[in-house]
Chains A and B, each alone.
Chain A
Amino acid sequence: MTDEIDTMSASAANTADLTVKSGRPAAQGLYDPANEHDSCGVGFIANIKNTASHEVVEKGLQMLVNLTHRGAVGADPLMGDGAGLLAQIPHKFFKKVTDFDLPGPGEYAVAVLFYPNDKALRDKCNAIFKTGLESEGLTLIGERVVPFDNSCLSEGVIATQPIIEQAFIRMPSGLDIDSFERKLLIARKVVSNAIYNDHPEAQGDNGFYIVSMSARTLVYKGMFLAYQLGGFYTDLSDPDFESAVALVHQRFSTNTFPSWKLAHPYRMTAHNGEINTIRGNFNWMAARQASVASRHYGEDISKLWPISYEGQSDTACFDNAVEFLARGGYALPHAAMMLIPEAWANNPLMDDERKAFYEYHAALMEPWDGPASMSMTDGRYVVATLDRNGLRPARYVVTKAGHVVLASEAGTLDIPEEDIIEKWRLQPGKMLVIDMEEGRVISDAEIKKTLSSRHPYAQWLARTQIVLEDLPPVKSEPPQTSESLLDRMQAFGYTNEDIKFLMTPMATTGQEGVGSMGADTPISVLSDKPKLLYTYFKQNFAQVTNPPIDPIREESVMSLVSFIGPRPNIFDLQGLSSVKRLEVRQPILTNEDLEKIRMIGDQADNQFRTETLDITYLAERGASGMDEALEALCARAELAVNDGFNIIILSDRMISADRVAIPAVLATAAVHHHLIRKGLRTSTGLVVETGEPHEIHHFAVLAGYGAEAINPYLAFETLVALHAEGEFPPEVDEHEVVYRYIKAIGKGLLKIMSKMGISTYQSYCGAQIFDAIGLDSEFVARYFFGTGTTIEGVGLNEVAEETVRRHAAAFGADAVLKKSLDVGGEYAFRFRGEAHAWSPTSVANLQHAVRSKDMDAAGAQARYDAFAEEINSASEKALTIRSLFDIKPLSSGPVPIEEVESAADIVKRFSTGAMSYGSISREAHTTLAKAMNRVGGKSNTGEGGEEPDRFRPLANGDRNPMRSAIKQVASGRFGVTTEYLVNADMIQIKMAQGAKPGEGGQLPGHKVNPVIAKVRHSTPGVGLISPPPHHDIYSIEDLAQLIYDLKNVNPEADISVKLVSEIGVGTVAAGVTKARADHITISGYDGGTGASPLTSIKHAGSPWEIGIAETHQTLVLNRLRSRVKLQVDGGIRTGRDVLIGAMLGADEFGFATGPLIAAGCVMMRKCHLNTCPVGIATQDPVLRKRFKGTPEHVINYLFYIAEEVRKYLAEIGVRSLTEVIGRTDLLEQHRLVDHWKSKGLDFSRLFYKPESIGGDTPYQSEVQSHDIEDILDRKLIAEAMPALSGGKPVVIDTTISNVNRTAGAMLSGELAKRYGLEGLPDDTISVNLTGTAGQSFGAFLAKGISFDLVGEANDYVGKGISGGRIVVRPSPKSSIVPEKSIIVGNTVLYGAISGECYFRGVAGERFAVRNSGALAVVEGTGDHGCEYMTGGVVVVIGQTGRNFAAGMSGGIAYVLDEDGSFRERCNLAMVDLEPVQEEEALMRKIHHSGGDLEWHGRVDITGDMTKHDDERLHQLISNHLHYTGSTRAKQILDHWADYRPKFVKVMPVEYARAIREMQEMREAAQVPAE
């Protein structure tokens, strides 16, 4: 163990204790095992009639093997991330293999145990196990060593293999099986607690662990690749090993460290996905202890604490909760509904009974939120459920033989089509239940109906629920003060900018203001100014391992409902309690609302008693008085709860010249954690009445640390005062100002929650979704326990000092503050405000340097040096963490600079940042591209595509100088054509952007001019929305799939994944490396942006120093570093920045703002307004003329940087940059840190240098293996050669299975390379396939290729399709009803450019999401159909799911609405619903052609989109019939006159306007001039 342990945060330290002696390394440097994620393939096969057979087990194992591609291998190719199987207890088998007498089936339990390898320790554990059982009155029948064959495992895995035993426990007489199971749970906890308490060394990953212990089920699992599970456990291949259910799981973990116990399934659960709210859920489960009483558990309940151990995985905690509920009397499906409720709050389609069920349970249990495909079984029920947003796939079939097979994808078992009677998928929030005792499948509707009608939940609610907003107003008024508004605003840190940029826009428009160009201010710990404590907390956001949500377009899943006050007893199964629950519809309270709460005890018939606690203290006690004040506050809170007060209001209303307010978030978190520690937290509500919070981030931090509701009285008072001064437009009255402000906070909170993929305030509350940047770990451990902090920093003394200084200035004699607020200077440069890296002098020096290099080299160099000095040096002002680093030369002394590698070589490691054409002008965009191409670096297209004239080779065959080497693929997929991708050297998947991680971009309609619209394949004048997530990446294995897709299209290009620095990014990067990325970019929070909400610019993400260091360290520890190029970007400005980046682990370096400034940007920060006065961030032709940048300016800048790097290298004593990559030993902390705040910083974790192992190098030195050598497309390409080389038509016949992924992409890449986007004539390459296609079938299919699949397909069919045709139809042998069966999976036609698709059957969620131009016919869709669609035509001749057309700004959809209910399922925010008008011309045509209208070519369909609906629709359905033989299509066509009126046309409003205008222009142009 190294010294680094001492510097870890408290939570990490705890975790470290748990992982000592395990396979996973303990926390070291910035690596912390607590950050690890996993995700995976999951599935089960169950016999509905509960008939056990060995076949079920065998098939389970086979499924697992066919899910292999969803797992991952790490540095060791034989080392998997874990796999396992949960089955029923195979009595017949055990009878055979045990040498003791077993009672009858169901009369004994089996414990599966992992024992440590150490014999002495094992014996001790075994002894405790036995006494534990005894003490709980259980008798051991016998023990069995589980046989194994580890010949298939690598030595590394074998080294960590535990001793695996089984213990057989007799069911005591007189107990029923449920009571026995409960007893077993208690005994298990008693044993585990005893062992972990007495022998902490047994608590590691490979210490003592009870894998399962049940009378019904058992688990076999370990550190395996999928195929190794069956080989290792020889038990599983015994024909007598029989079960009616096999639940299997294959894990894809971000780490590569063997841990046997982390494999799934857990005792009941296997999970694909991630619980985002785990910290909050964990805390609330712990806090619940005091308020739980159970008839079933009785006194024994205390033996169950803690429900979960600190440091477990999210799934393990979830499993603990499921067990706790299920053994406590809830049926398994009931427990599942409580933990993962569907979106009920704003759902008009849900019946009242079910709503009441959910609403009632909402107060009992906060949702476990995040993407989840959860499969569970207790041996009787098999339950599969999906999160409310349907973010993981789950497909199932029911066979004639009575089996249900469910898995993350279709086709995992080869079941003859004729044996299948049902093919469906799990839908968002829905559940599939198999009751094996009753022997039947219970549908979602039935189980929920049964459960929700079992008790009169609506009555229980009516009896116990109080909705705050519905209570009558009370007379009381908040306490008044004589202090001036201005002084109080100053004391709470309000600035002019807060008013101007944040509060006024919020109160005027109901939403947050937008800014641009990112943050270049120092983090709070480095700032000279007193900062609010909130600013030390950076919002976490989802990247890769879970998706952010779009809180606007997918509002239906979001909820701000909050409960205030004590939590009811979770085990009150009979609704006996008369305890009232107080609900607020959203957590921001008006003054009137707060008074209602203060006075609530006076209202009849409730048990509430509210106590207001003052959080101010005497100013004369100064900063040092805060500690005592906090202690006293916590004590008073505890006393209040013990005295029976069950709502506590923390209030700083008493602030005055004489009384300082404790920072509200500190007071809140302190009380919250104090009460958790005392087990009292769920006995009281916590409401905060404070003047401090005024921007959205403040509210989020308060919520994250436990505030159930917040009354920002001073923000209201400020707005009302501004209103009185006439600051608002006339239509906004005083009441409206407050209302809109609250609305804006609500929206902002939803945005912040959704960034992390959290959809309810209830589960966000207390979830602590933040990184602490610059806070001392002791301080964090005391008040913000569980929050990550990496570089130490300020503690309570400094926080108190900041508060006191602010207070003194506010109430003191400061002349500037006498009549006005502090200027701020955060968002725009001000001398009295915050420091900025881009200052008037740094910009001027840089620009003069690059522009005068050719005229006056020496003078120019001096200007550059002055520029670099200002940025690099900490002497005036530390702007960045790195400015506080010192560089230590090697002891061998300097080398002559001539011997150092050339600047020309160094600049090849440079790229410019991703800025889309659209956000910046063509002039600026091409200037960067030309510069980078000239020096051999790389420019980046950004997310808006690239004009083909820039990437097509020149006439003479030379590479186009304007071509961007890096082609970005972002969530909007704008302009991502096959041709675009094949013209790349690197394809970058943008997972997140530094300035706005977790958010999508938006290009307003006025910026979408005809050229940009063409590049983006959209409509001029219509705004474009990029979704927050990539809809084909909800987890790590999805990312692996997209990497695979892109690598297929363009095998020559490196695939890059762009991540943003936050704590845990290193583990994500390790996962990304295992997903076979060639290149990873780590961006700092200070990266630039064209437009982003101000909250995101300031408060999300962390500095790149932390991110790159963590990433590098984690990759080295995982022996993955040499496989991947690491790039760092976001605020890299000088050679020293480059050098530090390299020393912390980067191979390459990205620059964005710097080169823009070299090209003339003056940091106007007006990019979002289109008014850029230097012609960069604008499409205005007048302003674009002002652009004066040249490629030379950019090149000069890059060479200045490279020369600066060389100077440093020579001084250090090395000859190349490679030699310093990862050399953190050459860095040390600047000794002169005597700043009042920053003196507490400690960079030792940043500088931690793990040693490379096993031939791994600390820099990129080898290429990833991509597994694309032997794939179906190679065969297709070979057979299609006549077409590819000569345009000669070919027909290919082949079979396909789910392991054949991304079929068609490589073929399309080959075609696009030769023929571009125009491709070949239709059907030149005609491929007929049979079977179940793997994911991404027909991705990027180019024009001229047609795929006709008989069978079914998985997720992502036709992703990015660029002109091809895809037909998927069921086998004629199948006994399913096609229009009632699923035919293609989720996220079909994502980012489709053009082409046609016909699917005979129903598609999953998000059909045609972000479709730009493809035509598609389908017989039904899941939720969110046509989301973000911008073009093309979709015809749905069946039911759609909810939220159809959300964010749909273009294209047309026609939906057959037979029962007239479509309107309820359609999101009408951006579209109108219209009838499809009859057109006489069509009727005539039908008559003339005898009703046989065939496909006439696309021109007819998309020519004039303003009319011809009838004909278009008829023709597409005719095509559908033609290609798929759909009986449904035939029926419709045969009865056209009856069906046509039942179609609803979904027409985006903006799009309708734009195409009407375009059509008018077109027609006007055709009128001959007179």
Chain B
Amino acid sequence: MGKVTGFLETDRHDRTYEPASDRVRNFQEFVIPLAEREVVSQASRCMDCGIPYCHSGCPVNNQIPDWNDLVYHEDWEEAARNLHSTNNFPEFTGRVCPAPCEEACTLNIEDIPVTIKTIECAIVDRAFEEGWVKPEPAAEKTGKTIGVVGSGPAGLAAAQQLARAGHEVHVYEKSANPGGLLRYGIPNFKLDKSLVARRVAQMEAEGVTFHCGVTVGKDVSTAELEAKHDALLLTGGAEKPRDLPVPGRELDGIHYAMDFLTQQNRRLEQASLVGERLIHANFKNVVVIGGGDTGSDCIGTSIRQGALSVTQLEIMGKPPEKANKAVTWPEWPRKLRISSSMQEGAETLYSVATQSFEGENGAVRRLNCVKVDDKFQPIPGSEFVLEADLVLLAMGFVSPVHEGMLDELGLDRDQRGNVTANMKDYRTSKQGVYAAGDMRRGQSLVVWAIREGRQAARAIDLDLMGETTLPR
């Protein structure tokens, strides 16, 4: 067991960021890792609870107390093994996960949770450094072949699990490189793309074949894939963004956040942008509509691109600074969260709705906004105008894209337009076709996608083989 009184002796101490003034000059990661000694001492704060709420707060059920204890005892290799037994990609979650585990930590009742995410990240970074993370190709092949459509976190996790179970796995990705949102959605300053590439390389060594630049339902028919594979897993994400159909929406300079973020990532990987409409914030007044993580990513990216100003609009009211722990802990509470990007010089306005866009020469110039009440009803007389040269719509995603693959397959969909499948067997309405990740559950966190990918892999393995040793 870890240190019994560690939580009483050691204060919480987390990773810090490079100063905003420095970090906005480039697109590099800016989180400063803790020294190893510090990580060990932070791990000693874990109380090894009889019910570790972190463990269920975490969607992949990381065995947090166990690896905290291992880190405390400086058995990093075993910690890495333990961590990887529940999470295929801790280096991603260790960077971009909002860490519901820390919200669930028993010490968070007193606002001083264990720095779980930092420890997770330290374990996996160390594991890569030491060369402990190696390809784990299956000893025996099953002779089964599985197609995975989409290479976001769900697809990758599923593919890796299935390959390790001995199946021949083919991943179909419409973009030029695998990774989905990990690669194109999340800014590089939050998740360095070399990390994605490193995993992909490991998976290739484990026998996963990536088919990039292939849009299923267009470049290849679903029927063809169904015929070719023993099972098909759809992990295409929930890519249909929520729109803001108000007057002036058609103006130039109003873009979906994902178009903006994707382009920046492609720019960084020196992809050819020839023939594309460029979206860039340099010397612009930027308004980001939407207060979520994507909104934050837009802010950070805009600032790095050299925006004159960035304003973020959120229709919901400003959350309380502190959660009411009595009725929220260990669950995810609504509370004010200031992202690193917001700290870089953006202003966030709450309870604001955009009523129309106005422009000049077909290009957007200003937004007509209004304050709203709790029920999102405009408050008369509170109208105001915001100057904007670039408007980024970051209001989330409604559903997967139906056109093409999904329509072709003719799968049942739920009310929200997601592909119907349950969390036990992940079967869609069509025999042999499975769905997981955002495509099934709607937009969500990377960590949820990993969980679904792993579980779907298990379900497929079980269906194909009659038994499975893949962990959930």
- List A residues at the B interface (Cβ < 8 Å): 496, 500-501, 517, 809, 812-816, 819-820, 823, 827-832, 836, 838-841, 843-844, 847-848, 851-852, 855, 1162-1166, 1169, 1171, 1173-1174, 1182-1183, 1186, 1188
Contact = CB atoms under 8 A, between A and B. Distances in A.
Nearest to A725: B75
A819 B81 contact: yes
Contact of A1171 (B5, B50, B56): B5
Interface stretch (B180-188, B195-203, B277-285, B326-334): B326-334
A118 to B, nearest CB: 63
A1164 B50 contact: yes
Contacts of A852: 326-327
Nearest to A516: B50
Contacts of B470: 815
Interface in B124-173: 139-140, 164
Interface stretch (B105-113, B288-296, B390-398): B105-113
- Most chain-B CB neighbours within 10 Å: which of A820, A855, A1173, A1186? A1173
A844 B50 contact: no
A312 B425 CA distance: 58
25 contacts: A815-B85, A815-B471, A820-B78, A828-B49, A828-B51, A829-B50, A839-B56, A840-B55, A840-B56, A840-B57, A840-B330, A841-B56, A852-B326, A855-B327, A1162-B49, A1162-B109, A1166-B47, A1166-B50, A1169-B4, A1171-B5, A1171-B7, A1171-B8, A1173-B107, A1173-B109, A1173-B110
Interface string B47-63: 11111110111000101
A500 B51 contact: no
Interface size class of B (residues with CB under 8 A): 35 or more
Contacts of B7: 1171, 1173
Query: Closest 7 interchain pairs by CB?
Result: A1165-B50, A840-B56, A814-B469, A831-B61, A1163-B51, A829-B51, A1163-B50
Contact of B49 (A500, A1163, A1182): A1163
A816 B164 CA distance: 12
B4 A816 contact: no
Contacts of A851: 326-327
B55 A831 contact: yes
A724 to B, nearest CB: 14
Contact of B65 (A814, A828, A832, A836): A828
Nearest to B469: A814
B82 interface: yes
B52 A828 contact: yes
A843 B8 CA distance: 24
Contacts of A820: 78, 81-82, 85
Contact of A823 (B48, B51, B63, B164): B63
Contacts of B47: 1164, 1166, 1171, 1173
B335 to A, nearest CB: 16
A844 B4 CA distance: 24
A838 B78 CA distance: 29
A808 to B, nearest CB: 10
B194 to A, nearest CB: 27
A812 B465 CA distance: 15
A840 B104 contact: yes
- Most chain-A CB neighbours within 10 Å: which of B7, B50, B55, B82? B50
B309 to A, nearest CB: 41
B336 interface: no
B51 A816 contact: no
B14 interface: no
B1 interface: yes
A830 B164 CA distance: 24
B58 to A, nearest CB: 10
B320 to A, nearest CB: 14
A161 to B, nearest CB: 60
Interface string B27-59: 000000000000000000001111111011100
Interface in B52-99: 52-53, 55-57, 61, 63, 65-66, 78, 81-82, 85
Given A816-B469, A1163-B51, 17 more contacts: A809-B469, A813-B469, A820-B81, A828-B52, A829-B56, A832-B63, A832-B471, A844-B329, A844-B330, A1162-B53, A1163-B50, A1164-B106, A1165-B50, A1166-B49, A1171-B4, A1171-B7, A1171-B47
Contacts of B82: 820
Contacts, number: 109
A59 B10 CA distance: 77
Interface in B236-283: none
A809 B467 CA distance: 12
Nearest to A859: B327
A831 B85 CA distance: 13
A847 B331 CA distance: 12
Interface in B193-231: none
A840 B469 contact: no
B326 A838 contact: no
A816 B471 contact: yes
B48 A828 contact: yes
A1166 B1 CA distance: 12
A1182 B61 CA distance: 32
Contacts of B61: 831-832
A1002 B47 CA distance: 23
B163 to A, nearest CB: 12
A517 B50 contact: yes
Given A829-B52, A839-B51, A1174 B469 contact: no
Given A813-B469, A815-B471, A1171-B5, A1186 B110 contact: yes
Contacts of B55: 829-831, 840
Contacts of B330: 840, 844
Contacts of B472: 831
Contacts of B5: 1171
A1182 to B, nearest CB: 7
A840 B53 contact: yes
A1344 to B, nearest CB: 48
Contacts of B78: 820
Contacts of B85: 815-816, 820
Nearest to B471: A816
A867 B50 CA distance: 19
A838 B51 contact: yes
B56 A1162 contact: no
A247 B172 CA distance: 95
A587 B97 CA distance: 54
Nearest to A1167: B50
Contact of B56 (A496, A500, A831): A831
Contacts of B4: 1166, 1169, 1171
A1173 to B, nearest CB: 6
Contacts of B52: 828-830
Contact of B106 (A816, A823, A1173, A1182): A1173
A496 B78 CA distance: 13
A774 to B, nearest CB: 25
A528 to B, nearest CB: 13
- Most chain-B CB neighbours within 10 Å: which of A827, A840, A851? A840
Contact of A840 (B51, B140, B326): B51
